[in-house]
């Protein structure tokens, strides 16, 4: 697979063909790619809600009203929709779960290595919470790494995708009980196959030039 060519040809889909469905095996592969997303200190501060049927997609679409209503058809006509959420805080319970998972995965040669990992991860969390004062922003940055990974994965899998940042956060939070789960909604991603009426498929890609965005030191 030519990754550069995928980057040149993938685009944000504006209209989907609702008659086409991503094969389950292929979608499960995408979810595994999503699960394997890297994050700072392997903090994995995310949770995903998967909508793969009409009723589930309608629940997500409830948040696409008013000035966001133009995004509703993307969700309703997609094959699958994913709501990316971020933990509102990095709790001791989450840190303990991560450490136990590291241990079960065989990442520690002894107890000293395990304690060193715990100290390092806790230290970073304390820094972002107490010194930087923006632990939620830092955590959400990791979730957007996951979004980028999935957008690229979709292109490699010859699937169309759309990142959607315009939605009513309060409505979706209430619909899915996110506050009670300690989560905030970050971004929606739709997946499927483009419609022939998708105007964006025929437009050239537009990006800033290399000279505008790269500085060699």
Residue 1 has pLDDT above 90, yes or no: no
Measured between alpha carbons, how far is 217 from 214 in angstroms, rounded to an integer?
10
Q: What is the mean pLDDT of residues 165-171?
A: 98
Q: Where are the domains of the chain?
A: 3-91+136-199
Residue 192 has pLDDT above 90, yes or no: yes
Q: Is 119 helix (H, G, I), strand (E, B) or coil?
A: helix
Q: Nearest 5 degrees, angle CA 75-CA 79-CA 83?
A: 50
Measured between alpha carbons, how far is 34 from 29 in angstroms, rounded to an integer?
9
Q: What is the mean pLDDT of residues 1-13?
A: 92
What is the band of 197 on the pLDDT scale with cuts at 50, 70, 90? Answer: very high
Q: Closest Cα to residue 116, out of 104, 105, 103?
A: 103
Is residue 186 within 8 Å of 140, Cβ to Cβ?
yes
Global pTM value: 0.96
pLDDT tens-place string over residues 113-144:
999 999 999 999 999 999 999 999 999 999 99
What is the band of 77 on the pLDDT scale with cuts at 50, 70, 90? Answer: very high
Taking CA atoms, 165 is separated from 31, 131, 136, 194, in Å, by 20, 29, 17, 19
Q: What is the mean pLDDT of residues 157-182?
A: 98
Mean pLDDT of the chain, nearest integer:
97
**Would you identify the CATH topology of the domain 3-91+136-199?**
NADH Oxidase (3.40.109)
């Amino acid at each position: 697979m030519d990754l550069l060519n995928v980057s040149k040809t993938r685009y944000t889909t504006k209209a989907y063909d609702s008659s086409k469905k991503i094969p389950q095996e292929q979608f499960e592969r995408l979810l595994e790619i999503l699960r394997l997303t890297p994050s700072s200190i392997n903090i994995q501060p995310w949770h995903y809600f998967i909508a793969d049927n009409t009723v589930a997609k309608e629940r997500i679409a409830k948040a696409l009203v008013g000035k966001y209503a133009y995004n509703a058809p993307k969700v309703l006509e997609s094959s699958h929709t994913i709501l990316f959420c971020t933990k509102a805080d990095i709790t001791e319970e989450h840190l303990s779960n991560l450490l136990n998972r590291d241990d079960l995965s065989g990442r520690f040669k002894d107890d000293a290595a395990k304690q060193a990992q715990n100290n390092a991860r806790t230290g970073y969390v304390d820094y972002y919470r107490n010194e930087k004062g923006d632990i939620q922003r830092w955590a959400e940055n990791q979730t957007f790494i996951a979004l980028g990974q999935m957008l690229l994965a979709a292109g490699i899998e010859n699937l169309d995708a759309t990142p959607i940042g315009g939605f009513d956060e309060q409505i979706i939070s209430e619909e899915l009980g996110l506050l009670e789960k300690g989560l905030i909604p970050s971004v929606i991603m739709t997946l499927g196959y483009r419609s022939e009426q998708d105007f964006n498929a025929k437009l050239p890609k537009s990006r800033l030039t290399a000279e505008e965005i790269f500085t060699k030191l």
